[in-house]
Amino acid sequence: MASRAISDLHPQLQPLAETFIRRCRDAGVEVLITCTWRPAAEQGLLYAQGRSAPGIKLTHARAGQSAHNAMLYGSPAAKAFDVLPLVAGKPVWDLGHPHWQVMGRIGMELDLDWHGHPRASHREFPHFELKDKT
């Protein structure tokens, strides 16, 4: 089962995720982390959806290719987290809601890759990821 724990993020991403949440809250946006680390088997099921299984496509990454599947010394160390904005305690799925842009701006100010950015290779508004600095 996927994790929502900040402690399951890569050590470099943990303080950025905490700062992201605090800065969103300061900007009037409550966020819900929906996924940090995800096991490869679950990633494989998500990848199959909309391809060999019914439903809409949810991910472009196969098992082991997702930043959510990253490990460090045998422990979860996801290099990405997914979030949703909350309004009155309810998740907001409407991508036109202004909270998405507030979260995107904050994530990019923290030097995270935001997959909701108009120039993202594939648009995935909830997804924020450590930039690959190799």
Report pLDDT digits (tens) over 24-44.
999 999 999 999 999 999 999
Q: How many domains does the chain have?
A: 1
Cα distances (Å, whole numbers) of residue 80 to 51, 98, 99, 122: 23, 22, 19, 15
Residue 93 lies in a domain: yes
Q: How far does the chain reach from its first CA to its final CA, in angstroms?
A: 30
Residue 13 lies in a domain: yes
Domain limits for position 98: 6-37+77-130
Residue 56 lies in a domain: no
Residue 51 lies in a domain: no
pTM of the model: 0.93
Report pLDDT digits (tens) over 80-119.
999 999 999 999 999 999 999 999 999 999 999 999 988 8
Residue 23 lies in a domain: yes
Residue 96 lies in a domain: yes
CATH code, 106: 3.30.1380.10
Residue 107 lies in a domain: yes
